[in-house]
Amino acid sequence: MNRKKVMTTLAAAATFGMLLGGCANQAAPAGGGATEGGSSSAINIPALTSIETPKDAVLPAGDGKAVCPATTTLAYIGAQTGANAQLGINIFQGIQLAINEHNAANPECQVAFKKFDTEGDPNKATGPVTQATKEEGIIGVVGLPFSGESKATGNIFEQVKMVHITPAATNPGLTENGWTTFFRGLGNDAVQGPAAAKFMTGKLEAKKVYLVQDDSEYGIGLGKTTSDGLGDALIGTDKVTQGQKDFSATISKIMNSKADAVFYSGYYAEGAPFDQQLVAKGYTGTFIGPDGLKDDQFIKQAGDASKNAYFTCPCIPGELIPSFAKAYKALTNMDPGTYSIEGYDATTVLLAGIDAGKQDRASLLDWVKNYDADGLSKHYKWNDKGELQAPTVYGYKVENSKIVPIGAIGE
C-alpha cells in the first residue's frame, strides 16, 4: 500500500493548494538579508489535521491466540539518558505500548521487555549491545536510535545473527556495511536531504540557505545529502561539534552571508541553543532542522526563538492517529513524540513473528527479511539491504509553542 494517503480536512487542503500555487516568503526583509526588523512567521503553511491509516494494518494484539515460551523477550537498546535522550524515550514508550497491547490480548504469550541505556553515545553503546546479545531470551531488538551508535554496534548484532530494527537512525551508509541483521524502519537521509532542500527552496521560498552541520555520523551524512540538493541556493556552510555551547563564530558568518534560511544538520541539544543565539543576534530568517531537532525539548531549550523553526522528518505524525495517540497518552501522560509510532510499528513486526511461531533468533530474522504488511505508519517491506521502499518525508512547524505537522514534502 502506498503511503501517499495523507489527507487534510477540506479547508486545510484548499489552503494548502493555494500555498502550492505560490506565496511570497516574507521570512526576511526584502532582498533576503538576515537583518533586524524582518518576520519569520509571514508564511502561513496550514497544519495537517488528519491522516488516513491502512485499514488492514497489523496491530500488536494479533488474534489473541499466540503461544510462546515464558522466556521470550524483546529489547530496546538506545538512549534513555544523555543530551538527546527524549528521542530515545519516545521510541521505548512506543515499544512498551505495543508489548502491553500484545500481552493483554495473548494470555499464553507474555513477551518480556528489557531496556538497555547507551546514552546515545557510540563509545558507550558497545557494552549494552554486547550484554543484550548474550542474553539468550532476547530474540529481537528495536534500536538503536542514533546513526553513530548504530554504526559502532552493527557488527555485534551480525556476529550473533540477531535482528534489530532502528526506528530512527537515518545515515544512508548504515545499509552499505553488508549486514544481514539491520533493518531501517523509516526513510534514510538520501531521501530526507533532497526533500528538505526542496522544502526550503519550494514551499519556504528560500533563496539563500546557509547549512551548518555537527560532527555526528547523522549530521555529516544528512548535511551532505541536503547540500547536494540545494544546488545554487546554498551560499555557505560551517561545522560545529556535539557539546558546543557558543556558536558566535558561525552566527557571524551567517549574518554576513545575508541568508534567509539556515539549515542545521544535527540534534536538538546543540540546535536549540544555536537557534536561540542566532535570533538573539538579530537573525530574522527561517530556521530549519531535521528529525534530530524535532522534539518539544527543542522548543523548551530555544524558548521564543523557536517561533522561526520548521522541521523535516521521515516519520509520520503519530499524534494524528487517534487510536494510537489515545493509548499512548493513557500510558505515558504525553502526546506521541518523534519516532513513537515508528517504535510501535517496529515492535509490532517482531511481535507478529513471535505470534507466528518465529520464536528464536534465526527464524525471527528470516521473518523480518520476508515481511510484507502495513503498519499504522507505513508499509513495511525491506529490500536486501534493509531499506524500506518509497518512504515519505514530512514537514513540521512550530505553532503556539507546539510542533505540528504540515504534510508530506519533497514529492
> In the prediction, which pLDDT does 4 show?
37
> In the prediction, which pLDDT does 12 show?
36
Nearest alpha-carbon partner for 241 in 209, 210, 273: 273
> In the prediction, which pLDDT does 11 show?
35
Q: Which residues of the chain have pLDDT under 50?
A: 1-41
Give SS3 for 115.
strand
Task: Please tell me the distance from the alpha carbon of residue 384 to that of residue 367, in angstroms, as a whole number.
Answer: 13
Neighbours of 327 (CB within 10 A): 17
Q: CA of 247: how far to CAs of 238, 265, 297, 305, in Å?
A: 11, 14, 19, 15
> In the prediction, which pLDDT does 42 show?
56
Start-to-end C-alpha separation, the chain: 17
> In the prediction, which pLDDT does 56 show?
95
Nearest alpha-carbon partner for 290 in 219, 237, 356, 341: 219
Neighbours of 18 (CB within 10 A): 12
pLDDT digits (tens, 9 = 90+) for 20-40: 333 323 333 323 344 433 334
pLDDT digits (tens, 9 = 90+) for 190-219: 999 999 999 999 999 999 999 999 999 999
Rg of the chain (C-alpha set): 21
Q: Which residue has the cell 530555544?
A: 302
> In the prediction, which pLDDT does 53 show?
86
Task: Please tell me the distance from the alpha carbon of residue 194 to that of residue 190, in angstroms, as a whole number.
Answer: 7
Q: Which amino acid is located at 331 in the chain?
A: L
